[in-house]
Structure 1
């Protein structure tokens, strides 16, 4: 992993084969003091794609009943990664394609870069956000 920071608060994260995507983005947030920001661009290829997504509309109170988790091995072309960073913690979504299937969801730890990864983080100054669970246990953005 290598990171580059511009004068206007953009952080470019370059990932190489074998790097872990989410873990590297989290490290870049720590290294560059990104408290509130956004991942505004993300592309690459993964050999392991770990995601979860909500597959129901009734939203049960038990969080373990809400999500479908997928660990997908193979060559995944990542066409987009984006999301918000609050309290230094990224909440990111990803879209990937393996030649036959397109899938998207919440980016989880353990996504292994196959060829490369390139992500752009934009720091947002003058705003402090955090996430707090609502009455249904859904983490929602709020001012800190």
Structure 2
């Protein structure tokens, strides 16, 4: 992983084969002291994609009981082309969504980026800090962490 910092605090990450995407982003956020910000752009390729997404359509518009698991986890190895990666950073913690395509199987997946998503050839990611506001996430309805000012 290589990082480059601009004059106004933006950070550009270049991830290399074998780097772990989420773990590298978290390391860059820590290294550059980003508390509140956003991932503006992320493109590249992965050999392993690990995501989760909210399932349980049958229970909508009513959400399931607190004890019910509504997240589905997917971890797949393939030649994934990342079309987008973006999200918010609060309290130094990223909440990121990714969209990726496996051309060989004509399969597209989207969801929350999870650990152990492994870079194939490269990934380029741009992180922008936000000055003047400090955000955190606190559980609200159904124990879902929502953005709030600290």
The answer to whether the superposition gives a TM-score over 0.5 is yes
Q: Write out per-residue CA displacement over residues 17-41 of structure 1, whole angstroms, 9 at most, x where no aligned residue.
A: 0000000000000000000000000
Alpha-carbon spacing, 1:63–1:126, altered in 2? closer, same or farther (3 Å): farther
**Aligned-partner Cα distance in 1 for 2:30–2:68:** 29
Aligned residue in 2 for 1:106: 112
* Within-5 A mapping of 1:1-144: 1-56=1-56, 57=60, 58-62=62-66, 65-99=69-103, 100-144=106-150
**Aligned-partner Cα distance in 2 for 1:61–1:19:** 37
Question: Is residue 132–residue 141 contact of structure 1 (8 Å, CA) maintained in 2?
Answer: yes
Question: Is residue 63–residue 137 contact of structure 1 (8 Å, CA) maintained in 2?
Answer: no
- 1:89, CA displacement in angstroms? 0.2
**Aligned-partner Cα distance in 1 for 2:137–2:147:** 5
Structure 2: gaps of 5 or more residues: none
User: TM-score, normalized by length of structure 1?
Assistant: 0.97
Structure 1 moving runs of 4+ over 4 Å = none
Secondary structure of the 2:142 match is coil
Alpha-carbon spacing, 1:77–1:63, altered in 2? closer, same or farther (3 Å): farther
- 1:55, CA displacement in angstroms? 1.4
Larger of the two Rg values belongs to structure: 2
Secondary structure of the 1:29 match is helix
**Aligned-partner Cα distance in 2 for 1:6–1:16:** 20
Provide the aligned C-alpha RMSD in A: 1.1
Give the number of aligned pairs: 144
